[in-house]
Structure 1
């Protein structure tokens, strides 16, 4: 059973209790950041795009940055202004638990958002076209992201790949499909011990990014 259909039916069944259920699932548990959130923050990427509704990383990053990292939702009209100013942003591609009624959760909400907020998807398309994207903790099934990467791959087949971490050992067909149809290179790791290998790899990446930034300050070769 497709997840989007299941969400659609669940929302219909819960009716006026839908928002309450969302808050109980994503807000009330008072989730705390984990070590992986700190390493993601230390990568210091200018734009973090997340499909997550919760505020775990948002709260951690804004707290660590003393509020200099801004959180913007897909429905905000001023995102481009902050991107062009060079601000550091967290883009909530599917909305936030702060505003349950604007969360993109069901098949109908996905379809509506693509029409009513087409400018946001054009922005994502531009970011994917002009940047290398590293995807962590997401899958290949999100219909919006899949369509964006497929379109970019079809238009720019010679472009360098994007990268996606993958817990487990993907079969060869999946590896080839991701690369050929979406321009995504899978980075497999063992998900054992609560994804310890992923956390260790991110720490190593943080160290390498730090070394490269130090080198840039010496060479001034921006």
Structure 2
């Protein structure tokens, strides 16, 4: 299944074949206990200072960085947070965890069945996610565009809205065919911005973006 890139089904098989407590211990050991430190990529994302950051990661690396390094107030909200709609209408900087957090393993969205359960039990989150994509220009960094959550919502948004203002995805040069990139544009209104030839070039590109954003904000303080 891994060789076929059927990752959700593979995870489903693992959960079915393992003891539940062993499975939880394994996730905790790999997503929480190591105490990973933020890297330069995390710091650049923080410096870009987007009010909304949506992550599918379970770990707490980025949110710890925001809460410890920034003078601005941040709130961390999960897909099942009842107050998410109210928070979106506020001025608070939000870190939205679309697949949950390692702090609450039972509600993490990791396997195929957990995707279905989240959509069934928390449809309001996907409505809010659609509204975010409809009213904002989003940039995908290090996010797989094979994520069914993202693709289904973006496809719906693409049907609803025009393509005059696309979203953007940073992708490694040559990793996807020109046909795949064109399909992202046609089906999901996502324009690919390629970097490369190595992943190290992503940092260079984002550092350049940060410099441009800082320059723009120095001229337009309210921008």
User: Do these two structures clear the TM 0.5 threshold for a shared fold by scoring above it?
Assistant: yes
Partner in structure 1 of residue 144 of structure 2 = 139
Structure 1 Cα separation of the partners of residues 35 and 72 of structure 2: 20
Q: 2:14 matched to 1:10?
A: yes
Partners of 1:213 and 1:104 in 2: how far apart?
A: 37
Equivalence for 1:209:
213
**Where does residue 183 of structure 2 map in the other structure?**
177
C-alpha distance after superposition, 1:176-197 (max 9, x if no partner): 10100000011111252xx221
- Say whether residues 1:45 and 2:50 are aligned partners: yes
CA distance, structure 1, for counterparts of residue 122 and residue 164 of structure 2: 27
Query: 3-state DSSP class of the match of 1:141?
Result: coil
Match of 1:91 among 85, 89, 96: 96
Shift of 1:131: 0.4
- 8 Å Cα contact 2:163-2:189 kept in structure 1: no
Write out aligned runs for 1:101-180 (5 A): 101-169=106-174, 170-180=176-186
Matched, 1:79 2:84: yes
- SS of the residue 2:73 aligns to: coil
What TM-score comes out, normalization by structure 2 length? 0.93
Q: Distance in 1 between matches of 2:158 and 2:38?
A: 34
The aligned counterpart of 1:69 is 74
Once residues 185 and 19 of structure 2 are traced to their aligned partners in structure 1, the CA distance between those partners, rounded to angstroms, is 41
TM-score (norm 1): 0.93
SS of 2:19's partner is: helix
Task: Tell me which residue corresponds to 1:34.
Answer: 39
Q: Which runs of 5+ in 2 are unaligned?
A: none
Gaps of 5+ in 1: none
**Cα deviation, residue 67, structure 1:** 7.1
Contact 2:11-2:110 at 8 Å conserved across structures: yes
Deviation string, structure 1 residues 8-67 (Cα, Å, up to 9, x no partner): 111112222111111111112221100111000000000000000111111111111257
2:195/2:205 contact within 8 Å kept: no
- Secondary structure (helix, strand or coil) at the match of 1:91 reads strand
2: CA distance between counterparts of 1:19 and 1:155?
A: 40
Report how many residues are paired: 217
For residues 62-100 of structure 1, give each alpha carbon's deviation from its aligned partner in whole angstroms, at most 9, with x where no partner exists: 111257111111111011222212100000000000111
Give the secondary structure class of the aligned counterpart of 1:24.
helix
Aligned-residue Cα RMSD (Å) equals 1.4
Range with greater deviation from structure 2 (89-98 or 182-191): 182-191
Matched position secondary structure for 2:171: strand
